[in-house]
Chain A
Amino acid sequence: MHKEASIREPLILGDKSYHDITEDVCRPIENDAPKAWYLMITIAGLVAMWGIGCILYLIGTGIGTWGLNKTVGWAWDITNFVWWVGIGHAGTLISAVLLLFRQKWRMAINRSAEAMTIFAVMMAAVFPGIHMGRIWVAYWVFPLPNQFGSLWVNFNSPLLWDVFAISTYFSVSLVFWYIGLIPDFATIRDRVTRPVAKKIYSILSFGWTGNAKAWNRFEIVSLVLAGLATPLVFSVHSIVSMDFATSIVPGWHTTIFPPYFVSGAVFSGFAMVLTLLLIMRKAMHLENYIHVKHVEYMNIVIIVTGSIVGVAYITELFISWYSGVEYEAYAFINRATGPYWWAYWSMMTCNVISPQLFWFKKLRRNLAFTFVLSLVVNIGMWFERFVIIVTSIHRDYIPSSWTMFHPTWVDIGVFIGTIGIFFFLFLLFARFFPVLALNELKSILKSSGENYKEGFGYGEGYWDKHAHHEEIDESKNDNNDSND
């Protein structure tokens, strides 16, 4: 058994046994859903349907229904794409990078963060898809033999790199998530009594057995997939940033984009994880598993990545002047003081200044404050992408073509719609899937569970001599004095 210093805060609070963990996670799946769930999924469903309606209208009528014009050819669509891909970075970062660093607190949040990742990447993929205009020929992005004189896709282009990066990222994240889910589906399979549910979970659990060899393979697969997913996470957002960085547009043509985008992605991803989990832990009574310490750890990631993003903003600004390129300098002066100054300063306030408040321990351990700040960061990161994309191109080299971007109701409808679809999917996940990684939590119960750490009131180290949970519980009340 892996030992953990007693000074570390326990990760699982309360007097939990292995069975309690199963109970706590399976209860919301086995019981009827609360009214609030029906209310939320109805709202999300309506918004999602509105979004799908907007998308169908867009496909039927054409890209002209967006507010794009001759000067601003990319606006909300690509902003939303990058925003969603960024959000989709936290899940795999949590489950892969934190697995390699052996951060055990990841186990309470990785499952839902990965679900969030998968849904966010799906939402991201909507935007380049519909931006093509003719979505029925979307398969042309793949190098397929064709009747146009075998004209191949351009492997030099960052847009094609994106196709490969996003599809690899999506499918690998999905597989990583599902491989972790199989043993937990088996737990539900072996518990549920309703025949339909039993049948469904038995199919979903793939006949998982849980024998020693299967676990041996499970562990190596998790480790190797984490090792593969780690460079993948970094490559995906680097490649997204290269969509801009390899162009020659002032404001986009920046070599710091890859690390800047990756940290921004982690930053926004963690903010979205916090937004979702702070509600979920309350609604599903998971306060013992996702508690203040977990939130604090995530807030520390937010300070670090938020500060990297801040340094990147300032570096960009400095280099635009230091480079001596007037066009580059103007792009940045225009961002900060031009007609889009409000977007620039919203971005600066939300992403650079507000996360610094987490240096105060009181604030980063305050759940209500964290929730508000996570929303602020989500908004700020949307503005970051808007600022980078629109303010760089709305005033180009010919002042006569300078213009502004005005979103139409289709722009707004599609964006709001993807938020609806995202929440609809996440609510379905929270209702029918094990939202915590059961098997992983059980494996850290003895090293990081509160009661095991405190030796059941007998002081530290008691657990090593007395293995049986039940026996201890019986005699616990007799001599509580020997505590400590």
Chain B
Amino acid sequence: MADKVIYAMYDDDDVLKDGAKMLVGKGVHVADVYSPFPIHGIDPIIGVKHTRLGINAFLYGLTGTTLAIIAINYFMIQDWPMNIGGKPSFSMLENLPSFIPIIFEFTVLCAAHGMAITYLLRNKTLPGMPARNPDPRTTDDKFVMEVRVNENTQFSGDELQAMIKETGIIEIEERELQGS
């Protein structure tokens, strides 16, 4: 049997937030929320864990710093030391101050791009990907809450709909779930 999914549409972010709070209080599991802008405070209500992208960025940055130090040490100290303006050319440590700008820039380069690429991959947003929002109005001024019936086995589909209808919705729709 295909799973059913209920899409409840709201025209205000605060109403949706209150509605989600009430439903979650009754034990309903809200699968997802689609909105035209970030609704602050919705994540803890529907149980969305905070992203770890920040940690990622730090690790990418660290990789950048390490790579830059290793590369500059090889280029300027090991492979082809040159006397440029009398700056010490045989010791990485003594020559380090004039390498700092590029080490810094490369750190930022790796952190920013690494994070951006991870972000795009994790969101499954890449050029040519199909849009997966349930209703085109969710990128304009409508807010949609997604509740899956098989994640709320303690309630029947009708009970769920009845509870959702009490939360100030403007539209409700039940669809067969496609794919996963």
Contact = CB atoms under 8 A, between A and B. Distances in A.
B85 interface: yes
B33 A443 contact: no
Contact of A205 (B12, B104, B116, B131): B131
Interface extent on B, as a size class? 35 or more
Contacts of B179: none
Contacts of A204: 127
Interface string A155-176: 1111011001101100110011
Nearest to B84: A156
Main secondary structure of the interface of A (DSSP, over half): helix
A172 B75 contact: no
A17 B101 contact: no
Interface string B26-65: 0000001111111110110010101101100100010000
A469 B143 CA distance: 14
Interface residues of A, number: 75
A220 interface: yes
Interface string A294-319: 00000000000000000000000000
A150 B129 CA distance: 43
A191 B138 CA distance: 11
B123 to A, nearest CB: 5
A211 B80 contact: no
A260 to B, nearest CB: 18
Contacts of A440: 37
Contacts of A157: 84
B120 interface: yes
Nearest to A164: B105
Interface of B: 11-12, 14-15, 32-40, 42-43, 46, 48, 50-51, 53-54, 57, 61, 71-72, 75-76, 79-80, 82, 84-85, 87, 95, 98-99, 101-102, 104-106, 108-109, 111-113, 115-116, 119-120, 122-133, 136-141, 168
8 contacts: A22-B140, A150-B80, A152-B80, A155-B98, A216-B51, A217-B119, A235-B104, A439-B38
Given A19-B141, A155-B98, A207-B128, 11 more contacts: A22-B140, A149-B80, A152-B75, A161-B101, A168-B105, A179-B119, A202-B131, A208-B131, A218-B119, A232-B108, A469-B12
